[in-house]
Amino acid sequence: MHTFHGKEYPCCTSLTMGIIGGKWKAVILYYLKNATLRYNELRKKMPTVTERTLSMQLKTLEKDGIIKRKVYTSKPPLKVEYSLTEFGVTLVPVIDAIGDWGTYAIGRKVE
């Protein structure tokens, strides 16, 4: 068993999927891998995600140390930006591999 942030996982693959799995986390990481984005910019890139779901996924990724949230309060309106942490950047090859496999799967003939 492997433990990460108090949760136990039976193998390293399940740990990885526990952190980036689900419908939206990998998508969020895909968009943050090359840019720092504001909340509304992420919403525009993922128009079918609900605000509640996006907010929850961002909080979970932040809690796991994958993304960082920077709040600018110097002048209204409040500005919040999201970017990958140093730890989160280590997931870029994984996200790229997932995307590459998806491209392969689209072009593959069904047997």
Whether 17 maps to a domain, the answer reads: no
Q: Is 82 contained in some domain?
A: yes
pTM over 0.85: yes
Q: Which long-range contacts (CB under 8 A, 24 or more apart) does 47-55 make?
A: 49/24, 53/24, 54/24, 54/28
Tokens of 68: 């960082």
Residues 31, 85, 69, 13, CA torsion sign? positive
Segments forming the whole domain that contains residue 92: 24-107
Compute CA distances 23 → 55, 73, 78, whole Å.
14, 31, 28
> What CATH number should be reported for the domain holding residue 71?
1.10.10.10
46 lies in a domain? yes
Tally of structural domains, the chain? 1
Segment 56-93, tens digit of pLDDT: 999 999 999 999 999 988 777 788 999 999 999 999 99
Q: Is residue 48 part of a domain?
A: yes
Euclidean distance between CA atoms 70 and 36, whole angstroms: 10
Asked, for residue 40, whether it belongs to a domain, the answer is: yes
In a domain, 61, yes or no: yes
Q: Given this model, what pLDDT does residue 59 score? A: 96
Share of the chain above pLDDT 90, in %: 65
What is the overall mean pLDDT for the chain?
A: 91
Residue 3, domain member (yes or no): no
